[in-house]
Amino acid sequence: MEKKVRMADIAERLGISTVTVSRALSGKDGVSEAVRAKICQAAAELGYQGKIAAPGNLAGETVGVLIHERFLSKDQSFYLSLYERVVANLAKYNMFGLLESVLWEEERDLVKPRFIQSNRVQSLIIIGSMDVQYVNFIQGLGLPVVRLDAYDASSSLDTVISDGYYGMYRMTSYLLQRGHRKIAYLGTIGATSSITDRYYGYCRAMQENGAPLRSEWVLPDRDAHGYFTIELPREMPTAFVCNCDAAAYHLTRLLTEKGYRVPEDISVVAFDDFLFSELSNPRITTYAVDMDGMARASVRQLQARRDHPEREQDLRVITGFLREKESVTDIHD
């Protein structure tokens, strides 16, 4: 039998007194709203089943956040950072976020998330791509649901995505403006809707400029389970457009191992402006995703869906901007 979570467990986790936890959960005075929010968040994460009072306009609602396990590896911490931003925006509305990882077999077998089985959440945000059947299954459970950073035209769910198409169009155009025409795309087409959107943005920029679109220069960057694996083409391009910073990081390391210099021999651009663009040597020029804007929009969508369940589907595209760093050289004669 699962051990019942006590106020003392919450207090121990946060390093505060049980009295403070009790006052916060019962809605009594003497506890700041910032501390109260931390206590309620910890209570949700630990699975506290006791009553949580709602002083004033405190909603007290817990939002379940689903992320597939393949996006929670050390190479995919972008989504953990996005989750943290979602939680921060939920807190502004006196709501709390609870993360659950969806395992491969749970997705395949259409297993109901554990925090729904235990009635611990009242609405959901799905971050990243998941199987269409699983998403439809989740939608059929009857809770308000928003998708974040993944879009499926067959779905009627409210959705927030980054501007992958025009963002990658911008990054490819940036290389073309610096004399590059032999440009490869690094990303496994179809692995996620984001990767595919970015691929078509690359295609448009190449076609508009009469640059060659060569099939051998469209390179997968990961296996079926999302682990990065990259093989260089026989004939090398002068530049790579990478679907994300993590792929660019691994590519840059591989190029260095093979004796290529970045950017002197080969230029590299990417997408996200997250941790890996700064860890790379040199630092990667990239398209900066507005993660705060995406998180904020997803929470607002969730509130609107709760308040108006019959409203039309809402798709929000959040734009970012190009951030120049050190990985591109101009090759004009």
User: What pLDDT score was predicted for residue 8?
Assistant: 86
Given a cut of 60, whether residue 185 has pLDDT beyond it is: yes
> Residue 231 in 3-state DSSP?
coil
Q: Which CATH class is domain 164-289?
A: alpha beta
Whole-structure pTM value: 0.77
Ramachandran angles phi, psi of 62, nearest 5°: -105, 130
Spatial contact of 249 and 227, defined as CB atoms under 8 Å apart: no
Q: How far apart are CA 239 and CA 270, in angstroms?
A: 11
**pLDDT band for position 294 (cuts 50, 70, 90):** very high
- Least reliable range by pLDDT among 24-33, 67-76, 247-256, 289-298: 24-33
**pLDDT at position 15 over 50:** yes
Specify the pLDDT at position 52: 65
Helix orientation angle between 7-14 and 33-46, rounded to the nearest 10 degrees = 120
> Hey, what CATH class is 1-58 in?
mainly alpha
Q: What is the residue extent of each domain of the chain?
A: 1-58, 164-289
Which residues, in sequence order, are CB contacts of 200 under 8 Å at separation 6+? 165
Contacts 24+ apart (CB under 8 A), 55-58: 55/27, 57/94, 58/27, 58/94
Express each pLDDT in 205-233 by its tens digit: 999 999 999 999 999 998 877 788 999 99
More confident residue, 279 or 207: 207
Q: Say what percent of the chain tops pLDDT 70.
A: 93
Contact 238, 267 (CB under 8 A): yes
E runs forming strands in the chain: 62-68, 96-102, 123-127, 145-148, 158-162, 183-186, 218-219, 239-242, 267-272, 285-288, 315-318, 321-323
Write the pLDDT tens digit of every residue in 231-277.
999 999 999 999 999 999 999 999 999 999 999 999 999 999 988 88
Rounded to whole angstroms, how far apart are CA atoms 247 and 226? 11
Looking at per-residue pLDDT, the higher value among 94 and 51 belongs to 94
Average pLDDT, the chain: 89
- Does the pLDDT of residue 282 top 70, yes or no? yes
Residue 76 confidence class, pLDDT cut points 50, 70, 90: low
Mean pLDDT of 124-128: 95
Q: What pLDDT shows up at residue 56?
A: 40
pLDDT band, residue 47 (cuts 50/70/90):
confident
Mean of pLDDT values over 148-170: 93
- Residue for token digits 């191992």? 257
Averaged pLDDT, 82-105: 91
Q: Tell me the mean pLDDT in the region 123-137.
A: 94
Confidence of residue 191 (pLDDT cuts 50, 70, 90): confident
DSSP state of 131: -
pLDDT number for residue 30 = 67
How confident is the model over 290-309, as a mean pLDDT? 91
Written as one letter, the residue type at 119 is: N
259 contacts: CB under 8 Å, gap ≥ 6: none
* Residue 203 half-sphere exposure toward CB, CA atoms < 13 A: 12
Q: Would you call 232 exposed, middle or buried from its count of C-beta atoms within 10 A (0-12, 13-18, 19+)? A: middle
Give the mean model confidence (pLDDT) for residues 113-119: 91
pLDDT value at residue 58: 39
- With tokens 């409210």, the residue in question is 158
Q: How confident is the model at residue 149 (pLDDT cuts 50, 70, 90)?
A: very high
**Residue 314, Ramachandran bin (φ over 0: left; ψ between -120 and 50: alpha; else beta):** beta
Contacts of 302 (CB under 8 A, 6+ apart): 63, 123, 125, 144, 146, 158
- Give me the pLDDT at residue 55, please: 44
**Taking residues 12-32, what's their average pLDDT?**
79
Q: How many angstroms separate the CA atoms of 279 and 69, rounded? A: 23
Rounded Cα gap, residues 242 and 151, in angstroms:
20
pLDDT at 248: 95
Q: Please give the pLDDT value at position 126.
A: 96
